[in-house]
Structure 1
Amino acid sequence: MITIQQAVDNFKKLIETSIIEGGIKAKEAMIRSSRPINNIHEAVKSDFIRSGIAEHRIHPPLGESKPELKLAGFIKQKNQDVCVSPEGYIPESEMMTEGILREATDYYGKDYTERTISVNIRSQMSSLAKNFDTLYERTIAEAQNLHVRCPKMVLGEVYMIPVKEYDAAAMINNEIKFIDRIGAVEKYIKSFQAINGRLDFTREDYKYERVCLLLIDFEKTPAKIYSSNLDLINDGLIDKNTDANMSELSWETFTKNILDTYSTRFGV
């Protein structure tokens, strides 16, 4: 099992080693391989296990990237990044009767799906401002897909972005440099605040029960993980008078909040 700090440092090492050895093409190939982001998957699984979840309930298993649970929502069936399956429930295949997937086979069944915790894990390492709208819309759509069909389902989102992007021009020469211009840090905080904390399962299906926004300074060694407004303000990443707030998006309470919400919904 690994900590989130170890996972982020492993991510940094893989990215930077690929840049030194092969420049920008090697870095892009490394990201496509999913090896860097799989470290964050392992940190999420590890934290669930440290919080008392039995290993046999974690999908994919610790240390593996397969098999994933392919859960059916209102619009599509999709492999989920990390799931915690419900204790005492057995998947029961059923024919779906509504939505775009009408008459498709759900191999787990609605009851099992609704009692499964699902956590999406994503990262965006470049063009943070340029690609924001598309990425944000996709994030919302993932929550809606499952919540429309399974309103009580507990969903988490771990989203990692750098506070300083790697310099693409320097990568051409196999060099590791960072763009001094700070990307859309405050915009990301406010935007993920808006879809965080779905406590009432009868409404706001576009929200996640808990979002973790991992803001990372990869220029530092070890990589610095920001968990509070104070650190961000001190490092000049957000204005001291901002109404953006990291307190409910930090890693430290992510797993606890997910499990507490699950216990409230399902009484276990």
Structure 2
Amino acid sequence: MCCEKNIKEKLLAIKTGYEDAIQSKGKNTNNLIRTKKLINHLHEFIKEEFIRNGVSPDKIYPKKGDSAGEKKFLGYLKSKKQDISVIPKQPTGPIESPLGPTYGIKDEIGKELMEKSITVNVRSQLSSIKKNTDTLFERTYAEALNLHMKANRMVLGDLYLIPRYPWNQSKFQENRVEFLEEFPHALIQMFNSLNDRFHSTDAHYKYERVVLLIVDFKNENPWVMSKNDLIKAGLIPTEMKDIIDENLFQPCRLIPDLLNLYRRRHGNINDLV
């Protein structure tokens, strides 16, 4: 299956699952979000695209079809599970972190293996999308900063799903599927500032690749909006169009770009196949 068809199928599954929950569970719909059943469709998309681009399924954690088995990476400040990890070889076992902010914490991966790993985190917000925008941004760049300060050659990706028209949460208790005419314009500029960490010496708070997956779920078949679509919709101001990366909105470039950057850092991807 090609990437474009794959992402369309995953987004349709998210739309169908969310709207079925609204119509049957009403105000309890957000419990579905907390179980991660919907966002797991995008986790599987990431895993499938790694495999389609030549990565061995044995090097991917959690395994395809599983939601358990996330690997925990110890960064400069803290330890945190990563949604999807590609690790060249099985970690030999936890070692105790040396003196520093994480002294005494067990390191499951180790710095040497971290440097040659790829991780991708997946986030989403389907309703109330204007809430906590600053907090979301702070958490996103803090994640990259924490890992790159310890392992600056590590390749990081981030995929953030946000609807062009969010579902109207106030209508959930009536079991009604309705959409709001709102969008947090600042998110585009925020995530653009975190994208395209080309060199290992670039800012640690940036990601090698970020995708801001802006989707029009009002359509019967969810529609991934391109940079041109967003300009036409007035979501990217004309004066900003030359500084916003086109690849920020292209989910099918995420994994190929991450692997190409890995090749630049490490010479090839032989350790991952």
Question: TM-score if structure 2 supplies the norm length?
Answer: 0.91
How far off is 1:203 after superposition?
Answer: 3.5
Q: For residue 253 of structure 1, give the secondary structure of its aligned residue in structure 2.
A: helix
Output aligned runs, 1:113-132, within 5 Å: 113-132=114-133
When residues 236 and 107 of structure 1 are mapped into structure 2, their CA distance, relative to the original with a 3 A threshold, is closer
Question: Which of residues 43, 46, 52 in structure 2 aligns to 1:44?
Answer: 46
AA partner of residue 84 (structure 1): V
* 2:194 is aligned with 1:195: yes
When residues 125 and 44 of structure 1 are mapped into structure 2, their CA distance, relative to the original with a 3 A threshold, is same
Contact 1:163/1:237 (CA < 8 Å) preserved in 2?
A: no
AA partner of residue 14 (structure 1): G
How far off is 1:246 after superposition?
Answer: 4.9
Match of 1:76 in 2: 78
Counterpart Cα distance in 2 of 1:67 and 1:161: 26
Match of 2:166 in 1: 165
When residues 169 and 115 of structure 1 are mapped into structure 2, their CA distance, relative to the original with a 3 A threshold, is same
AA partner of residue 114 (structure 1): E
Match of 2:246 in 1: 247
Match of 2:271 in 1: none
Q: For residue 11 of structure 2, give the secondary structure of its aligned residue in structure 1.
A: helix
Match of 1:152 in 2: 153
How far off is 1:163 after superposition?
Answer: 0.8
Contact 2:91/2:108 (CA < 8 Å) preserved in 1?
A: no
Q: For residue 247 of structure 2, give the secondary structure of its aligned residue in structure 1.
A: coil
Q: For residue 155 of structure 1, give the secondary structure of its aligned residue in structure 2.
A: strand
AA partner of residue 189 (structure 2): K
AA partner of residue 79 (structure 2): Q
Q: For residue 211 of structure 1, give the secondary structure of its aligned residue in structure 2.
A: strand
* 2:218 is aligned with 1:215: no
Q: Deviations over 1:139-158 (max 9, x none)?
A: 01111111111111100000
Counterpart Cα distance in 2 of 1:3 and 1:209: 23
Match of 1:233 in 2: 231
How far off is 1:55 after superposition?
Answer: 0.8
Counterpart Cα distance in 1 of 2:129 and 2:143: 20
Counterpart Cα distance in 2 of 1:169 and 1:126: 10
Point out where structure 2 has 5 or more consecutive residues left out of the alignment: 269-273
AA partner of residue 177 (structure 1): E
Q: Deviations over 1:113-165 (max 9, x none)?
A: 22110001000122322310000000011111111111111000001101111
Match of 2:7 in 1: 4
Match of 1:183 in 2: 183
Contact 2:127/2:168 (CA < 8 Å) preserved in 1?
A: no
Counterpart Cα distance in 2 of 1:117 and 1:12: 29
* 2:142 is aligned with 1:141: yes
Counterpart Cα distance in 2 of 1:238 and 1:151: 32
* 2:264 is aligned with 1:261: no
Counterpart Cα distance in 1 of 2:263 and 2:213: 25
Q: For residue 68 of structure 2, give the secondary structure of its aligned residue in structure 1.
A: coil
Counterpart Cα distance in 1 of 2:251 and 2:147: 23
Counterpart Cα distance in 2 of 1:99 and 1:252: 39
Q: Which has the higher contact order (CA 8 A, sep 6+)?
A: 2
When residues 16 and 144 of structure 1 are mapped into structure 2, their CA distance, relative to the original with a 3 A threshold, is same
Q: For residue 158 of structure 1, give the secondary structure of its aligned residue in structure 2.
A: strand
* 2:32 is aligned with 1:21: no
Question: How many residue pairs align between the two structures?
Answer: 263
Question: TM-score if structure 1 supplies the norm length?
Answer: 0.92
Counterpart Cα distance in 2 of 1:64 and 1:49: 15
Q: Deviations over 1:34-90 (max 9, x none)?
A: 000000000000111100111111100001001111111111111110011115x75
Counterpart Cα distance in 2 of 1:189 and 1:247: 11
Contact 2:118/2:155 (CA < 8 Å) preserved in 1?
A: yes
Contact 1:74/1:98 (CA < 8 Å) preserved in 2?
A: no
How far off is 1:230 after superposition?
Answer: 1.7
When residues 214 and 98 of structure 1 are mapped into structure 2, their CA distance, relative to the original with a 3 A threshold, is farther
AA partner of residue 121 (structure 1): V
Q: Deviations over 1:16-39 (max 9, x none)?
A: 0100001122x1111011000000
